[in-house]
Chains A and B, each alone.
Chain A
Amino acid sequence: MPAVTCDQLVKRYGAVVAVDGLSFSVERGECFGLLGPNGAGKTTTIEILEGLLEPDAGGVEILGLRWRTAERELRQRLGIQLQETQLAEKLTVEETLRVFRSFYHRGRTIDELLAIVELESKRGSWVGRLSGGQKQRLAVACALAGDPDLLFLDEPTTGLDPQSRRQLWDLLKRFRQDGGTLVLTTHYMDEAETLCDRVAIIDHGGMIAQGTPRDLIAALGAPRVVTHSGTLEDVFVSLTGRHLREE
């Protein structure tokens, strides 16, 4: 049984079709990446999977369960990091983690969580006074609080410095070694290549390509890349075009 299956998802905002008939599935233990330009529908898709948005059409199954009937169990088993996670500014890092940890019936201790994201030295700092990268790491720690089976991360490394990115990658690799399933969105192709077993490239709410990074690069065709071996970025740009998205 896959960790995530979604079938013909549709989500409209007035005239905008944010998600236009997406179908894919994510196996257990897999890392699945959603790639796409700004406004492609990544956040909308992931929030539907997270049970935060109701799709206009289509079905979602998470860990073999449905949101309508098993929301409480699913919430215990998922870890979620929103694209713009906001946490209370006037609570400290430790207090924030305590609040989130208290919701879960199992998981790591506060100290372990602080150690995983290397925020021990900021334990007593107000969230509002953290740097962007530190906030991002705290958001990931909150997502990990309940020792989730399935982790959704929406642009987890945006705004991080190279050290923090690599540190987060290591953390996510360890999460996968422990059997966790990971669904993430990113604009960094090197990140997708490093972390993801499979990626989906979407644009205008629809699926453009899906497969392992290696297959996608191979499919792009060797002739075009003579001087260097192809990258996922080459694939991405060739599939989604070079023009900017108004956003």
Chain B
Amino acid sequence: MKNEIDRGGAHHPLIELTLARLREFLREPEALFWTFVFPIIMSVALAIAFPGSGVKPAVVGIEPGDRGAAIRQALAATQGITIRDIRPGDEERALREGEVHLLIVPTDPPAYRYDVAREESHLARLLVDDALKRAAGRKDPFSAREEPVRIAGSRYVDWLIPGIVGMTIMGTSMWGIGFSVVQTRMRKVLKRLIASPMRKHEFLLAQIGGRLVFLAPEAGVPLLLGAFVLGMPIRGSMLSISVVCLVGALAFGGLGLLLASRARTFEAISGLMNLAMVPMWVVSGVFFSSSNFPQAVQPIIQALPLTALINALRAVILEGAGTAGVWRELAVLAAWGVVGFGVALRIFRWR
């Protein structure tokens, strides 16, 4: 071929730029640390907060000594109740700080002291009352037949993990791209690059491409921990989950580039990043459902990339949807990615 391009042993610029970005990142110990450690910390925190069994015991306080001995004995035989010694005078604090859910004053009949605003206190009251009355000789008029079933994926923690995965993808994509672009601009490396025949869109694509490699650990760690340690069900296919994560990362890559397209200082980019991300943490349904917000603002919330990503992840992971089932979310994400990238390319400041 006559017009063959001779790159003198180098690869296509898109590959070289992506490799360069990747190498720089791998040689940045702090960035690397946070990429891998942040999802692990999040996941471990979840595992501790939501131990596998799901139901937490009711913690009941009672003063040490003989007065409470009978009560103590009656409760010891009951499942789901943990007894704690609370010294007289310390009751207020123990209740306030949630060290115990209910305090039993061992008079005859006993008194229950608890915070009516707390759900777990009501539960503790029911359990304690039942156990004590039964021990006092109450005869039940009948015993219902128990039919316990366990529906995997219905617990809060199952719902939470896809939210955490979505939040992690957003955070790492945006910070990873935003900071490196601004640093490159501040150090005038961009100016030197733009003096060469480098194609601008290839540089920007490489910024996103260099991040995608880290998607596997970032999304994979919380998902694996959720599945194997916390017993979260994974109903959708690995392929669908990967596609959703990938499209999500591309969306936030485009958005990250857009935010970084003009910023000249770390302060500026940090401000922009927080301005974009903090509202989404709140409204996009990471920790509580976005349906809590009024109907009037729902169209806006549903159009946000984090909402789309988390909804798609929940549908795929918990409900077993395929990519076709979440096409609307994928479309929203793709739109953010493409528009973000396109606008960034136009307004990008190269020096």
Contacts and interface: CB of A to CB of B under 8 A. Distances in A.
Interface of A: 50, 52, 72, 75-76, 80, 82, 84-91, 95, 98-113, 126, 142, 145-146
Contacts of A142: 192, 196
13 contacts: A50-B195, A72-B197, A75-B196, A86-B189, A88-B189, A91-B24, A95-B19, A95-B20, A101-B8, A103-B197, A103-B198, A106-B5, A106-B6
B94 to A, nearest CB: 54
Contacts of A109: 8-9
Contacts of A105: 5-7
A87 B7 CA distance: 20
A105 B195 CA distance: 16
B156 to A, nearest CB: 42
Given A75-B196, A91-B24, A86 B188 contact: yes
Contacts, number: 93
Chain B interface mostly helix, strand, loop or mixed? loop
A111 B10 CA distance: 11
Of A72, A100, A110, A146, the most chain B CB neighbours within 10 A belong to A100
Contacts of A113: 8
A58 B323 CA distance: 57
A126 to B, nearest CB: 8
Given A75-B197, A146-B197, A102 B191 contact: no
Contacts of A101: 7-10
A158 B189 CA distance: 19
Given A100-B196, A102-B11, A103-B197, A87 B189 contact: yes
Contacts of A111: 9
B16 interface: yes
Contact of B10 (A86, A91, A106, A110): A110
Nearest to A85: B192
B274 interface: no
A94 B28 CA distance: 19
Contacts of B8: 101, 104, 107-110, 112-113, 145
Contacts of A106: 5-6
B42 to A, nearest CB: 28
B227 interface: no
A99 B17 contact: yes
B191 A88 contact: no
